Structure 1
Amino acid sequence: MTVGAFDLVSIGDRLSFAGALDQVSAALDTSAAVVVSAPPGTGKTTLVPPLLANRSRGRVIVTQPRRVAARAAARRLAQLDGTSLGDRVGFTVRGERAVSAQTRIEFVTAGVLLRRMLDDPGLDGVDAVVIDEVHERALETDLLIGLLSEVRELRDDLVLVTMSATLDAERIATVIGPTDRPAPIVEHDVPAFPLTERWAPSPVPRLDDRGVTWAFLDHVARVTASAALDLTRLDPTADVLVFAPGAREVSEIARRVRDAAGGFDVRELHGQIPAAEQDAVIRGRRPDDPARIIVTTSLAESSLTVPGVRLVVDSCLARRPQRDAARGMTGLVTSAAPRSSCVQRAGRATRQAPGSVIRCVDERTYAAAPARPAPEIATADLADAALLLACWGAPGGTGLRMLDPLPADALADALGVLRGLGAIDDDGRATDAGRALARIPTEPRLARALRDGSPLVGARLAAEVVALLGGDLRIADADVAQALVALRGGRPKDARRWRSDADRLERMIPPAPGGRSDLDGTGLVIALAFPERIARRVEHTAAGATFQLASGTRAGVTGSLASVEWLAVADVARASGRAAAGSGAVIRSAAALTQEQMERAASHLITDRIEAEFTGGRVQARRERRVGAILLSSAPVKASTEDGRDAVRRAIRRDGLSMFGWSDTADALRRRLALLHHELGAPWPDVSDTGLLAALDAWLAPELDTLAAGTPAGRLDLSSALRRLLPWPEAVRFDDLAPERLEVPTGSRIRIDYAPADDPAARPVVAVKLQECFGWAETPRLVDGRVPVLFHLLSPAGRPLAVTDDLASFWSGPYAQVRAEMRGRYPKHPWPEDPWAATPTRHTTRRARD
C-alpha cells in the first residue's frame, strides 16, 4: 500500500466483498471497463471506490441514484477510513457539498455528474467513474452510461465500473466495453441467510380512483404493529422496515403505527425529510435504544443499508413516473411493485441474520405483478434528457452507446417542448438559451420560469415557486400559493430543505430590477413553465370544478381553487371519481391566474381567427379568440369565400360524399366512369369516394363556391360536376365505350344498369323481356369488347326467367325448359318452339299479328 493509500484490509473488515477485490483488480489489469454484480450489503459500494483510488492519482467519482444514498455512502467510507467527511472522502448533491482539494473519492448523484460534464466533458482530473445501482435503470444513470462511453473513446485511461445488486451483466458489459469485446464481469455471491415468507392479504382494496386507500394503510399499520410486538419479544435488538409507495403513505402508516404500538421508535425515511433525519435512520441505534420501526419508500430497496432490520413488511406497491401521451402529461403513478423490487425489499431482513418478510397481498396477486420495473427511459418525460443530449452534441442520443434508445414518441414530444422554450434549433442543437437552461439544476420548463419570471415577480418568489415544484414536496389541496405560505412559516418539516433550494436557485440568476415578491405572481411563474397547462373553469358544482386546459385536456379540482376562473396548472394526472370531477384527470398542483398574466405567459398560444363550419347544409362563421384549446371569445361574422370553401371541404372530408343527394342521372354517370377506370385505367378518372375526395377541386370547385355562398347541398346537380372529369380527347368515345342504353332487336333502347362505383368489377346488367330478344345470337360487349353484358330475361310480368351472358347458348338449351313452364302461364304471349326464327316483339301474339 502506497503512502496515502486507503487501507482496504481495515475498511473491508467483515465485508464479504473484500474477498472479491482480487478479481476486480485482475479485471482492471485487462480492461478499463468492468461490470460488478453483488448482492446488497456485501460492501461493493464501500470497497470498490478506494480500490480504484489506490490504483490511480486522480479523483474517483461514484454516482448514486439518490442524495441520501450519496451522503450515507460517503459518510460510511470516511468513518471506516478514519478521516473527516470532506477530507479524503466527500460528496456533492443538490444543495449540499462536502469536498476539498484533498478529496480522492467523491460520491455524487447521477444528475450532478451529468451537469458537471456539460462544463467539463473530458472530466479533467478524474481517473475513474463508478456508476452504482445500475439495475434501477434510472434515466440519469442510463444517460451517464451513454455519455461516458463516448468520453472513453477519447480517454482510454478513464476507468468505468458499473455496479448493481441484480443486473443484466452481459448486456451492460457489451455496452460499456470496447466495440470488439464486452467488458469483464466480476460476480460475487454470498450464501443468503434464511428468509421466512409470510402473507397477510388485505381484506380491502389497495387502490381506488384516488390512489392508495386509507383502509389499506390501516391494514399495513395493523400488520406492522402486531408483527413488531411479536418480533421484539423474541429479539429486542431487531428492527422492522416497512415499505410504502410514497412519502404521503409513509407518514400515514407511521402515524397509525405510533397510535397502535407504543414503546417503539417509529421513524420515517424518504427523500422529503431533512438530511439529518435521514442520516440518523441509516446510522442505526444504540443497544439501549428502543426497537425501531422504519417506514420508507423504495429509497431503502437497494441503495441504502439500514442496520438491525430482521423483519420487512411490504405493501407491494410502488410509485413510478408514467407518461400519458394522450393527454401530454407525466406524473407519478401508484401500481403493483415489480417482483424483483419485492425480492430486494425482502433481502433487507437477511443482511446480517435470518429474517422474515410479510407481504400484504396474497400469493396470486404477487405472482401477477410485473417481473421487473420498466426502465425509466421508457416511461418518463424526456425534456430534461433531450436538452442535456442536445448540449452534449448528440441530439436524441444519436451516436451514443446506450442500454435503450429514447422512445421516438416521447422524444418527439420533448423536442417540441424544447423548441417552444427556444432551447434547441431546427436541427435539434442546443441554443445559447438552451445551454443556460441546462445549467440550472431543474427541468427545462422550470428553469425557463425561473429565468423569465424573475423580472416579472421578483427573483425570490420565482425561486421559491421553482424550488417547491422541483422539490417533489406535498401540496395540500393542490394550492401552490398556500403551500408557499406554510413553507415560509416553517411549518412543514421539509421547509428547511425548500428554503435552501430556493436560496441556491436565487443565486443562479442575475438580480432583476422591479418585480413583485408577493404571492400574486405564483400563477404567472407556473404559467411560464407550463403555458400549455393554463386552464379555464368550464363547470362548477358542489363536488368541485372542471377546468379546460390549453392543451385540450379537461381536469378536475376540489377545494378553494375550484372557485377561481383561471388556473396555472403545474401537475395534472389521470384519475377518476370525485377528485377528477368527471373529467378523467385531476389537478394536483396549481395557482390562481389573472387573464392579464395568462396573456403574458401564453402569448404564443393565443390565436385570433375566423372559424367557418358547414353545418345544417350551410356555412356558418364565427370570429374566435383562443389560447390553445380554450375559447376566449366568439362572435358571428360573415365568412369570406375562401373560409367558406375551406369549411365545405372539411365537411365533405369529415362526412363524405353522402352529404350530397345523388340524382339518378349523377349516380348512373358515376357508375359508367367507374367501369371505364376499372377496365382501362388512366386517363379515365377514379370516381370512388377516395378518388373523388382527393380530386375535389378538379371536379367540384364551382359547387364549393355555391355551397359557400349558402346554397343547400341537396340542390346541387353533381352530374354536370362529374362531367368535368371526362378526359379529352378520349371523352368523345364515352357513349360508345359505356353507353347509357342498349338497343335490343325490337328497337327498344333499354337502360344499362351499371355496377355501383364501389364495386366496378361487377357486371353491367340489361333487364329486358325475353320476347324482345328472339333470334339474338351475339351477346353485346362494352368497353371495346372487354365486358359482356349480363342479361336478365324477364317474363311478360317483368319477373326474371333467366340470367345469362351467352344468348346463343340460352336459345339452344335452357329456353326449352323456360318455354314449357311459361306458355301455359302466359298464353297470350308468343313462346315459339324455334326462337331463332321468331320475330322479336314487345306485344302479345294477337297484337304482333295485327
Structure 2
Amino acid sequence: MMPAAFDIAAIGAGLSFAAALDELSTALDESGSVVVSAPPGTGKTTLVPPLLASRSTGRVIVTQPRRVAARAAARRLAQLDGSPLGTRVGFTVRGERSAGPQTRVEFVTAGVLLRRMIDDPGLDGVDAVILDEVHERALETDLLIGLLSEVRELRDDLVVVAMSATLDAARIAAVLGAGDRPAPVVDHDVPAFPLTERWAPSATPRLDERGVTRGFLDHVARTTTSAALDLRRENPDADVLVFAPGAREVSEVARRIRDTSDAFDVRELHGQIPAAEQDAVIRGRSPNDRPRIIVTTSLAESSLTVPGVRLVVDSCLSRHPQRDATRGMTGLVTTAASRSSCVQRAGRATRQGPGVVIRCVDERSYAAAPARPAPEIAVTDLANAALLLACWGAPGGAGLRMIDPLPADNLADALSVLRSLGAIDHEGRATAEGRALARVPADPRLARALRDGSPVVGSRLAAEVVAVLGGDLRIAEADVAHALITLRGGRTQDARRWRDDANRLERMVRPTPDARSGLDGVGFVIALAFPERIAHRVERTAEGATFLLASGTRAGVRGPLGAVEWLAVADVARASARAAAGSGAIIRSAAVLTEAQMERAANHLMTDRVEAEFTAGRVQARRERRVGAILRSSSPVRASAQEGRDAVRRAIRREGLDMFTWSDSAAALRCRLGLLRRELGAPWPDVSDAGLLDALDEWLAPELDVLAGGTPAGRISLTSALRRLLPWPDAARLDELAPERLEVPTGSRIRIDYPDPADATARPVVAVKLQECFGWAETPRLVDGRVPVLFHLLSPAGRPLAVTDDLASFWSGPYGQVRAEMRGRYPRHPWPEDPWVAVPTKHTKNRSAR
C-alpha cells in the first residue's frame, strides 16, 4: 500500500520556501542531484524532506551537523504533520533514536549516516538523502558528499540534495553533478528586514593565554543587559540572542546576566544541556512569559531557528578544532569568528522584523577577521575519516568526488595512526580489526582502548573511560578518574548522557568483569588509546608541574595531578608558557599511570640502546632506556667499534669538514679534483662539502676508526684519505690533466692555485714574475685543453702588474704601458722593448749578463 502523502500545503503555510517548491520539483525531474540555497528561517529544512517523500516510496534521510538540530527539525516536522514523533517522522542521533519501520523522513547526524553506509553501502530502502547546512563544511558532511556521489554512479534512482543558507553553490553543484554536467541550483531568496549594526568594543582584551578573559565576559553581559532593557521598553515581546564561543562562556555570561537583572528569563543553548531544555528554547515562549535572553554557542548560528529574536549580541568569537602539526595533536581553539559567521548570527535578529546586532568589537577588528571559516577537513585530526574511507574502499579518498581533498600532511599522520592500530594494511585498505574499530562510534584510538582494555580492567570501566573521553564533558583539574567518581553518583543531564554512552559502548565488547575495584585502570585505558601521550614529570612548579610526553611535547598541568610521576594524557592543547607551567602546552585531561601499566600499554615505544656521541675529540657512550622521547635511565658504557664509527659520522655531518685541519697538500688535491669534476664530471669524484659528507665511508673509513679510538682530528692526514676517491684507471692522468705545478720558460715550476670546488666559474691561477715569461706566446691550457690558465704577472717585488689568459695579446699590447711605468721603478731588471726576443729570466740584468 502506498504510504499516505504529506500535506505539503499545510506544512508550508507561512513558510517562504513554499514558493520555491515548484522550481525544486522541476529540477528534480531533470536531475537526481540538486543544490538548494536559501536563508535560515525560510523553511527549507521543513519543506524539502516531505516534498521528496511525496515523490517516492522509500525513506528520506536528512543529515544535520548537530544532534540538537536533528531532534528539533524532526519534532518540528512531526508537529506540522500532525503525527507522533517516531512514526512518519523520526530522528536518530548518538545515544538516542525515535524512528521505526513506518518512518518516511528520518533526521540524523552526518556521523550516523556515515557509519550506516559502511554496513549498507547501497542504502537499501533509502530513496533520497538531504545534506543540510553544507556551508558549515563539517568534515563528516564533506565525506558524505564524496561517498554519495559514488553511490549515485551505481544507483541513478537515489536523489541527493545539498542545502545551505550560504554556500558556494556552483562549486557544490559541480561535485554533485553527473560527469561534467553540474547539478541544477535552486536559489531562493527573500527580502531581508532592515538590520541596524552597532559596535561595542571592550576596554579589556577578548583573549589571553588562558582563553576568553573574565573582563570581556563581564563586558558582554553588561552590554546585553543594557541593550535588552532598552529593547524591552520598545518591544516587550522581543527576545535577545547572545553568541559566545563555547559552553563555559555561555554559562559564565548567563550567570552574570542573572546576577544583574531578574527582568529576563535567561536561558542557555548548547550541546551539553538536556535535550528537553534545548527543545524548550527552540519552541519559543508564551505571550505572558518574561522576555528571554538566550545565550548560545554557534549552535544557533544557522542550523536552528530561535523564534522571537530581534536583538543579537555577538562576541565575534568562535571555537573550532585545529590541528597542531608540530606537536601532532588536535584541540579546540578560540579565535575571532569569520565575517560570514557573524553575518549569519546577525541575521537571526531580522527573521520576523527589523532587528539590531551589537558586535562586541570595533569595526577595524571585525574587518580583519577571516572572510569565512576554514573547512573542518583542513584543520582537524583525520584518523576517523581515514578509517571510514578505508572501510569504504577509497583509501585517502582516492577516486571520490569531494569538495576538497584530504590535506596530504594530516592524512599521512592519520594513516600512520591507523597502521599502528592494525586498522589498515600497507596499501591503506581496512583490515578486519579496522572494520571492527569503525563500528564503534568513537575515535579509532578510543575504540582500540575499549576493545583491548576491557579484558584487562573490565568492560564496564573501559566503557566508562571511553565515554568520558568521547563526550563533550568538562574535566575538573584535568583528572579523568575524579570526573568518573562525580559522574557515577551524578543525576545531572551530563551524568545521564555519559551513563547512556557507557552502556552502549559496553554492549559493543565481550562482557568481562572489572579486574579490580576502584579506578586503578583509568590511566591504562587512556594509555592504550594514546600511548604517544604517556607523560613523565620533569619539573615541579609553584602552579603545578611540567611533563614530557613520549611524543616529545612538554605540557603543564595544575592541581593534584602535578604530584604524580607518570600520567596517561587524553587531551593536550597549545597554550602560552605562562598558562602551561612554562611548557607551551597544557594538559586538559589525564589520569595517574603506574610504571607497570605504562610498560604494558607502550611496549612498542620502549627502546633500550647505547647512544654514543663524539664530543671534545672523544667517543662517549651511555646505555639509555626510553619510552619514546622520555628518558627512563642512563648509564655510561664502553662503545663498540661500530657505535664509535657511527658517533664520529654523526659528529662530522653535524659539525662539517672544518673540524679537520686541512694541510696545503690536502687542500690542493681537493681543489684539483674539484676542477676535474666540474669540467669532466664522473668518474671524477664530487669533493664539495655535501659530496664528501655523503661519501664518508668511501674515503674516510679507516680514519673513522682512528678518530673513534681517540686520535685528535688535527692529526688525520686528509691527503691520503682523498686519494681513495681517485677513479682508476682515470687516476693515472691526474698529473697530466691537473698538474700541481706549471713549468714556465725559465724552467721554474710554479704551483698552480686551483679554484675552490664550490666556485663554478673560477679558473686555475699561476702567479709568476713577468720577466720569466718573455717570449711565451701560447697560453697553457689544462684538462685536455678545456681550461686556460689565468696568469697573474708579477713585478720584481712580487706585486701584481697584469692579469691575463692570453699571453700573445698581452705582449703585443698592454706590455708597452707596463714597461713604461715599471722600468724607472725597477731599473736593475730587464724591460726590453721587444719581449718576443728577450731571454726569460728570474734575475737582475747584471746577474743575467754574468
TM-score bucket (shorter structure): over 0.9
**What does residue 6 of structure 2 align with?**
6
The change in CA–CA distance for 1:830 and 1:270 in structure 2 (over 3 A counts) is: same
Over the aligned positions, Cα root-mean-square deviation in angstroms equals 1.7
8 Å CA contact retained: 2:459, 2:514: no
1:232-631 aligned within 5 A = 232-490=232-490, 494-631=494-631
**What does residue 200 of structure 2 align with?**
200
Distance 2:843 2:182 in 1: 96
- The more displaced of 477-486 and 125-134 is 477-486
The change in CA–CA distance for 1:242 and 1:842 in structure 2 (over 3 A counts) is: same
8 Å CA contact retained: 1:457, 1:517: no
Distance 2:716 2:380 in 1: 54
8 Å CA contact retained: 2:60, 2:104: yes
The amino acid across from 1:119 in the alignment is D
Q: Per-residue deviation at 1:532?
A: 0.8
The change in CA–CA distance for 1:85 and 1:723 in structure 2 (over 3 A counts) is: same
Q: Per-residue deviation at 1:275?
A: 1.1
- The more displaced of 732-741 and 268-277 is 732-741
Distance 2:760 2:233 in 1: 87
**What does residue 827 of structure 1 align with?**
827
Distance 1:221 1:550 in 2: 43
Distance 1:612 1:704 in 2: 14
- Secondary structure of 2:798's aligned partner: coil
**What does residue 47 of structure 1 align with?**
47
Distance 2:677 2:120 in 1: 67
1:198-237 aligned within 5 A = 198-237=198-237
The change in CA–CA distance for 1:270 and 1:824 in structure 2 (over 3 A counts) is: same
Q: Per-residue deviation at 1:204?
A: 1.6
Q: Per-residue deviation at 1:180?
A: 4.5
Distance 1:503 1:735 in 2: 85
CA-to-partner distance for each residue in 1:326-374, whole Å, 9 max, x for gaps? 1101111111111111111111111112211111111111111111111
Structure 1: gaps of 5 or more residues: none
- Secondary structure of 1:545's aligned partner: strand
- The more displaced of 510-519 and 376-385 is 510-519
CA-to-partner distance for each residue in 1:89-122, whole Å, 9 max, x for gaps? 1111111111122221111111111111112211
8 Å CA contact retained: 1:460, 1:517: no
Q: Per-residue deviation at 1:320?
A: 0.9
8 Å CA contact retained: 1:196, 1:357: yes
Distance 1:793 1:119 in 2: 87
Q: Per-residue deviation at 1:29?
A: 2.1
- Secondary structure of 2:767's aligned partner: strand
Q: Per-residue deviation at 1:513?
A: 4.3
Distance 2:790 2:172 in 1: 71
8 Å CA contact retained: 2:450, 2:462: yes
8 Å CA contact retained: 1:543, 1:578: no
- The more displaced of 811-820 and 16-25 is 811-820
Q: Per-residue deviation at 1:67?
A: 0.5
The amino acid across from 1:648 in the alignment is V
Structure 2: gaps of 5 or more residues: none
- The more displaced of 435-444 and 646-655 is 646-655
Distance 2:813 2:171 in 1: 78
**What does residue 120 of structure 1 align with?**
120
8 Å CA contact retained: 1:459, 1:506: yes
Distance 1:152 1:810 in 2: 83
Distance 1:736 1:801 in 2: 29
- The more displaced of 8-17 and 309-318 is 8-17
The change in CA–CA distance for 1:555 and 1:339 in structure 2 (over 3 A counts) is: same
The change in CA–CA distance for 1:793 and 1:470 in structure 2 (over 3 A counts) is: same
**What does residue 747 of structure 1 align with?**
747
8 Å CA contact retained: 1:678, 1:761: no
8 Å CA contact retained: 2:315, 2:361: yes
8 Å CA contact retained: 1:231, 1:238: yes
The amino acid across from 1:669 in the alignment is L
8 Å CA contact retained: 1:274, 1:496: no
CA-to-partner distance for each residue in 1:44-85, whole Å, 9 max, x for gaps? 111111112222212111111100011111111111111211
Distance 2:447 2:682 in 1: 59
Distance 1:76 1:812 in 2: 104
Distance 2:30 2:742 in 1: 91
Distance 1:774 1:42 in 2: 101
Distance 2:677 2:385 in 1: 53
Distance 2:182 2:763 in 1: 67
- Secondary structure of 1:579's aligned partner: coil
Distance 2:344 2:424 in 1: 40
Distance 2:83 2:242 in 1: 33
Aligned pairs, number: 850
**What does residue 66 of structure 1 align with?**
66
Identity of aligned residues (%): 81
The amino acid across from 1:460 in the alignment is R
8 Å CA contact retained: 1:674, 1:760: no
Distance 2:228 2:661 in 1: 79
Q: Per-residue deviation at 1:694?
A: 2.5
Q: Per-residue deviation at 1:229?
A: 0.8
Structure 1 residue 179 corresponds to structure 2 residue 157: no
8 Å CA contact retained: 2:3, 2:57: no
The change in CA–CA distance for 1:415 and 1:775 in structure 2 (over 3 A counts) is: same
Distance 1:21 1:759 in 2: 75
8 Å CA contact retained: 2:204, 2:216: yes
CA-to-partner distance for each residue in 1:127-149, whole Å, 9 max, x for gaps? 21111111111111111111111
- Secondary structure of 2:364's aligned partner: helix
Q: Per-residue deviation at 1:377?
A: 0.8
Distance 1:831 1:3 in 2: 119
Structure 1 residue 137 corresponds to structure 2 residue 137: yes
Q: Per-residue deviation at 1:783?
A: 2.0
- The more displaced of 439-448 and 620-629 is 620-629
- Secondary structure of 1:672's aligned partner: helix
CA-to-partner distance for each residue in 1:599-645, whole Å, 9 max, x for gaps? 11111111111222222222222221111111111122222222222
The amino acid across from 1:696 in the alignment is L
Distance 1:676 1:489 in 2: 82
8 Å CA contact retained: 1:742, 1:752: yes
Distance 1:651 1:508 in 2: 53
- The more displaced of 705-714 and 368-377 is 705-714
The amino acid across from 1:807 in the alignment is L
- The more displaced of 399-408 and 821-830 is 821-830
**What does residue 689 of structure 1 align with?**
689
8 Å CA contact retained: 1:558, 1:579: no
8 Å CA contact retained: 1:675, 1:761: no
8 Å CA contact retained: 2:459, 2:513: no
The amino acid across from 1:88 in the alignment is R
**What does residue 97 of structure 2 align with?**
97
**What does residue 800 of structure 2 align with?**
800
Q: Per-residue deviation at 1:167?
A: 1.3
Distance 2:33 2:808 in 1: 88
- Secondary structure of 2:520's aligned partner: helix
TM (norm. structure 1) is 0.97
Q: Per-residue deviation at 1:255?
A: 0.9
- Secondary structure of 1:840's aligned partner: coil
Structure 1 residue 711 corresponds to structure 2 residue 717: no
The amino acid across from 1:388 in the alignment is L
Q: Per-residue deviation at 1:491?
A: 6.8
- The more displaced of 767-776 and 54-63 is 767-776
Distance 2:397 2:833 in 1: 88
- Secondary structure of 2:809's aligned partner: helix
- Secondary structure of 2:583's aligned partner: coil
Distance 2:202 2:344 in 1: 22
Q: Per-residue deviation at 1:493?
A: 5.0
- Secondary structure of 1:692's aligned partner: helix
8 Å CA contact retained: 2:421, 2:445: yes
Q: Per-residue deviation at 1:693?
A: 2.1
- Secondary structure of 2:521's aligned partner: helix
**What does residue 189 of structure 2 align with?**
189
